[in-house]
């Protein structure tokens, strides 16, 4: 059974940092593109970042470029999203999922796997 589990969310102050983790069981993430999405209350879900399979190209939403960084630890079968210089508008539930990742964006379909999400709240 495939399972993706996000962790690392929480409360941080503006300007602070958080590192989200997406750990997998039942599949080897190295061979999958992995994307990070977020959904804030009342807003549509948006793709924030992704890393291609076999550590290929990465993508970042313009709003997070230069602040967020996606990486992969093959030994731990985990993908990370390092989030620095956080802003109140980064507040959302963050999800990881298997995706098709390219330098200019990411895509997914009904066959992709999703985690349950982790809450990120940025507030002073």
Average pLDDT, rounded, for the chain = 96
> Residue 110 gets which letter from DSSP?
T
The predicted pLDDT at position 13 comes to 98
Q: Is the pLDDT of residue 96 over 90?
A: yes
Q: Report d(CA 109, CA 49) in Å as an integer.
A: 17
The predicted pLDDT at position 55 comes to 84
Mean pLDDT for the stretch of residues 66-86: 97
Mean pLDDT for the stretch of residues 5-20: 98
pLDDT digit string (tens) for 26-67? Answer: 999 999 999 999 999 999 999 999 999 998 999 999 999 999
What is the three-class DSSP state of 31? Answer: helix
């Amino acid at each position: 059974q495939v399972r993706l589990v996000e962790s690392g969310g929480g409360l941080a102050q503006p300007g602070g940092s958080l590192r989200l983790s997406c750990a997998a069981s039942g599949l080897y993430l190295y061979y999958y593109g992995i994307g990070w999405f977020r959904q804030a209350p009342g807003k549509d879900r948006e793709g924030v970042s992704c890393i291609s399979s076999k550590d290929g190209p990465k993508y970042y939403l313009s709003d997070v470029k230069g602040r967020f960084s996606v990486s992969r630890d093959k030994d731990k079968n985990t993908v990370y999203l390092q989030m620095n210089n956080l802003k109140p508008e980064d507040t959302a539930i963050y999800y990881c999922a298997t995706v098709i990742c390219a330098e200019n964006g990411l895509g997914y379909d009904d066959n992709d796997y999703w985690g349950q999400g982790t809450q990120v709240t940025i507030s002073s």
